[in-house]
Amino acid sequence: RSLVDFPDSVERLRLLGDALLAGGRTDEALAKYRRALEIDPQDGQTHGRLGQFHARGGRFDQATPFLQRFVDLEPTSPNAHTNLANGLFGGGRFDEGIAHLKEALRLDPACVPALESMITVRKALHQDDAMVEALRAAVAALPKVQSYRGRLAWALATLPSSPEPAHQEALALAQALARESPADPAVLDALGVALARRGDFRGAVEAAEKALSLAEERGQEAMVRA
């Protein structure tokens, strides 16, 4: 309705495209994005939308130029660098993608999409030390987010290359989380592996059984299976 009064509003066209895309009307969404770029070829956000549109479809060769243009137009946008990084990863260009993630995190150390992408790509590339470093960066940037501390504890307790001091650190992290959230199955699961790595198998079994019981009560089937 707003486009009736403002038919050349790039922002409104983008928002309508987003709504159409969320509703599965991809062809109509693409038309709105393209129309927005016809009106303003310098709109970085629309370039980003088109890049993500192609990336979701696995067309990374088509996505990357749009995502690169988003970065060129908005070089201080952490999201622009993160989106380009993910597009580059899809095309197997890992070193370039990691460089853009580093820039995104330089611009905003608490950029969650960039933090998540960095953790994911380091894990996928089996770069264990770098993955732990990425988790530490997430904990430092967002210390109140329990999931990052839990994932760091899990990594320190389970990675084969993890040194002995890291096992104690994992246990300390997991114990602190258990004090904060004593009825969280994920926290108790992390506590279990940390205890096991330290050789406290009785404590590990107790934590795991409690985690399992709570997950079953709450219908968390994926966690129960794990």
What is the DSSP secondary-structure string of 162-221?
A: --HHHHHHHHHHHHHHHHH-TT-HHHHHHHHHHHHHTT-HHHHHHHHHHHHHHHHHTT-H
What is the rounded average pLDDT of the residues 77-105? 97
Whole-number average pLDDT of the chain? 96
What is the rounded average pLDDT of the residues 9-35? 95
The three-point CA angle 104-105-106 to 5° equals 90
Provide the residue type at 104 as one letter.
A
pLDDT attached to residue 226: 87
pLDDT in tens, 161-188: 888 899 999 999 999 999 999 999 999 9
Lowest-pLDDT range, 2-6, 98-102, 108-112, 190-194?
2-6
The three-point CA angle 159-160-163 to 5° equals 85
The single residue listed with the structure tokens 């089996």 is 126
pTM above 0.85, yes or no: yes
pLDDT in tens, 35-52: 999 999 999 999 999 999
How does DSSP assign 26-38, residue by residue?
HHHHHHHHHHHHH
What is the rounded average pLDDT of the residues 63-86? 97
What is the rounded average pLDDT of the residues 68-79? 97
pLDDT attached to residue 144: 93
CA distance 60 to 63: 5
pLDDT in tens, 104-132: 999 999 999 999 999 999 999 999 999 99
CA distance 176 to 146: 10
